[in-house]
A and B are shown apart, each in its own frame.
Chain A
Amino acid sequence: MVEMVLAVSDLSVRREGVTVVDDVSFELAPETDTALVGPNGAGKSSLLQALIGILPRRSGEVRVLGARLGPRGQLPAAIRQQVAYLPQTLALGGRFPVSVAEFVGLGWDPPGPSLPWTGGRARRSAVAAALAKTGCADLADRALSELSTGQLKRVLLSFCVVRPRRLLLLDEAQAGLDPLAAEQFHQLLYQLHRSEGWTILQVSHDLDMVRRTSDRVLCLNRSLRCSGSPDHALSAAELERVYGRDWVPYRHHHAPGPPA
C-alpha cells in the first residue's frame, strides 16, 4: 500500500465561535495535484491553515507524511522541512527591508535558534539553485518590496523549492495575477510539480485551470460536498450542490488535457 502524503480524518475547525470546517476527511496520494474549490467563505483557507497548524483544530486528526500533527500544530522538524505553505500574499512583504535572496534563504533553514555563521555556503548555493529553477536568478539582489505581484509569486515558489519538499499547500496562488501571468505561474507550478515530485493541495477559484491541470478536486462548503476527478466533481450537477442553484459557469471552455 502506498503511504499517503496527507491523511485527514474528521477535521473540524472553529473561528471566533463559528464552525468553518465541519467533519472533513480525505487523503492525498503521492505526487498528485488536488484542487480545493468552493464559494467564498466556504472554509477553504481555514482548512488549509489547519492542516499545518496555523489555525488550531477543534477535533479530528491530521497526519503529514505519517506524522501526527500535534494539538498546538507541532510537527517533527524533519517532517516540517518537507512541507511548504504559500499564502495568498505576504502581510508585510512590501515593507520589510529584505532582499529576494535573503528571503528565499529563510525557507532553507530549519526552525529554531541558530548561530549567524551556520550553513552559509550550503544556503547560498541552495538559494541560487532555487532562484534559477523558478526563473528568478536576476531578482536575487532586488528588495522584496520592489517586486511586481507576478515576480513575488515566483519568488514565493523559490521559497518552496529551496529545499526538497514533498507536500505543497497553496492558498489561491493565482490571486492578484492577470490572466497571462496566472497562466505563466501555473505552467511553472505544473513543471515543478513534475520535476520535484511534489504533492499539491491548492485552493483555486479558476475552475477552468482546475479542469485542465488537476488530478482530483475536493469541493468544500464548510463540509466536503464532493470529491473526484475534475470531470465528475466539476459537472454541472455537482457544482450546483456546492455553489448553489444560481451559479453560472463563467469562462467555461474545454481545452484539451494538461500541458505536456
Chain B
Amino acid sequence: MSTAVPVAELLALPFLQRALLAGLLTGALGGVLGSFAVLRQLSFFSDALGHSALLGLSLGIVLGLDPTLVLIPFAVLFALGVHRLVRSSRLPADALLNIVYSSSLALAVLTLSRARGLQGGIERLLFGDILGVTSHDLQLILGLLVLAGSYLLLTRRSQILLTIDEPLAVSRGVDADRHRLAFVVLLAVVVAVSIKAVGVLLISAFVVIPACAARLACGRFGAYVALAAALGAGGAVLGLLLSAVFDLPSGPSVVLVQALGFLLVLALEAGRNALAG
C-alpha cells in the first residue's frame, strides 16, 4: 500500500469533489430504492443487472462511445426485457436472471478479449474508478435524483401497499403492473449511473446493504427509508475518501464501509435485545 495523502490536500482536487458528491447522491438514492427493492425480492435483480452491465460497457468501448451513454439505454432495455421474461415464463425469476447475466457476462468477456490495449481498464470496470466521474455524470445523477425522489414521494403510499401485499394494493386501485415496471426501470438506471464509481461486481451491495441495515434498526417506514439513505450516502462518501487517501480501489472500499455499518447496526440491535430481554 502506498503512503497516505493528507485529506485536506485531496479535498481540493476537483475530480475527488465530483466523486464524493456523486457518491453522496447515488448512495442516498441506492439506499432509498433499496429499501423497497430488498423487500420486493429485487436484490438479485440489481446483482444480475450489475454483472450484465459489463456487456453494455464493453460494447461501448469497442464502438468507442461514452460508457454512460451506452449504460443507461442498456439498463432500461435489460429491465424491460427481464420484466417481460419473468412475467411470461413459469421458471423461477432467480434462475432466469442467472441465465441472462451469465450469458451477458460471457459475451462481455469475449468482447473485451478482442479489444486490444484494455488490460488495465478491466479492473476499473469491475471495481470502480473515482477518476471516472465527469461533471456531465454529476448533472445526470442530479436529474435522476430529482426524478426518482419525486416519483417515490408522490406514489409512496402505493409503493408501500404494493410491497406489503399486491392484491391488497390492487383492491385499493393501485395499478400494480405500471408501478412495478416503473420501479424496475428506475432501479436499473440508478444502478447504471452508480457503476462508474463502484464497478459492476459490487454495485448490488449499494442497493442491498444500507436497506438491510436500516430494516434491522427501524419499525417505522419514515425512519427506515431515512436511515437507509443516510447509511448509503455515508458509506459511499467515507468509502471514497478512504479509497483516495490510501489509494485503494473505490468499489470495495465503499462496500466494506457499508458492510461495517451493517455489522455495527447488527451488534447494536443484539445489544439492545439483550438489555430488553
Contact = CB atoms under 8 A, between A and B. Distances in A.
Q: Do A and B come from one complex?
A: yes
Interface of A: 49, 52-54, 73, 75, 77, 80, 83-85, 87, 90-93, 95-99, 102-103, 106-107, 109-116, 143-146, 169
B248 interface: no
Contact of B157 (A73, A93, A114, A144): A114
Given A92-B165, A95-B39, A97-B218, A52 B171 contact: yes
B99 interface: no
B120 to A, nearest CB: 43
In the complex, which of the residues B39, B153, B157 has the most CB atoms of chain A within 10 Å of its own CB atom?
Answer: B157
B12 to A, nearest CB: 38
Contact of A54 (B156, B164, B170): B170
A113 B154 CA distance: 5
Given A85-B167, A92-B165, A96-B39, A111 B174 contact: yes
Contacts of A85: 167-168, 171
Interface string B205-236: 00000000001001111011000000000000
A75 B170 CA distance: 11
Contact of A97 (B153, B155, B224): B224
B163 interface: yes
Given A114-B157, A116-B156, A102 B170 contact: no
B231 to A, nearest CB: 14
A97 B215 contact: yes
Nearest to A115: B154
Question: Which secondary structure dominates chain A's binding surface?
Answer: loop
A73 B158 CA distance: 16
Given A85-B171, A106-B160, A113-B155, A97 B165 contact: no
A232 to B, nearest CB: 31
A78 to B, nearest CB: 11
Nearest to B166: A91
B157 A109 contact: yes
B208 to A, nearest CB: 14
Contact of A111 (B167, B173, B220): B173
B272 interface: no
B173 A80 contact: yes
A111 B39 CA distance: 21
B154 A96 contact: no
B269 to A, nearest CB: 13
Given A90-B165, A92-B164, A106-B157, A97 B173 contact: no
Contact of A98 (B154, B160, B168): B160
A98 B170 contact: no
Contacts of A98: 160, 164, 220-221
A159 to B, nearest CB: 8
B136 interface: no
A97 B220 CA distance: 5
B87 interface: no
Given A111-B173, A113-B154, A87 B168 contact: yes
A143 B223 CA distance: 12
B164 A93 contact: yes
A142 B133 CA distance: 44
Contacts of B168: 85, 87, 90
B164 A90 contact: yes
A165 to B, nearest CB: 11
B219 A143 contact: yes
A145 B219 contact: yes
Interface in B150-207: 153-158, 160-161, 163-168, 170-174
B171 A54 contact: yes
5 contacts: A53-B171, A73-B170, A84-B171, A90-B165, A145-B219
Contact of B154 (A53, A80, A110, A114): A114
Nearest to B40: A92
A49 B167 contact: yes
A207 B177 CA distance: 37
Given A92-B165, A113-B154, A83 B171 contact: yes
Given A73-B170, A97-B219, A102-B221, 16 more contacts: A54-B167, A54-B170, A54-B171, A87-B168, A90-B164, A90-B168, A91-B165, A92-B163, A96-B221, A107-B172, A111-B173, A112-B173, A114-B154, A116-B153, A116-B156, A143-B219
A82 B223 CA distance: 31
Nearest to B176: A54
Contacts of B161: 106
Nearest to A94: B164
A143 B173 contact: no
A78 B154 CA distance: 20
A93 B165 contact: yes
5 smallest CB-CB distances across A and B, nearest first, come from A111-B173, A143-B219, A85-B171, A113-B154, A97-B224
Contacts of B163: 92, 96
Nearest to A80: B173
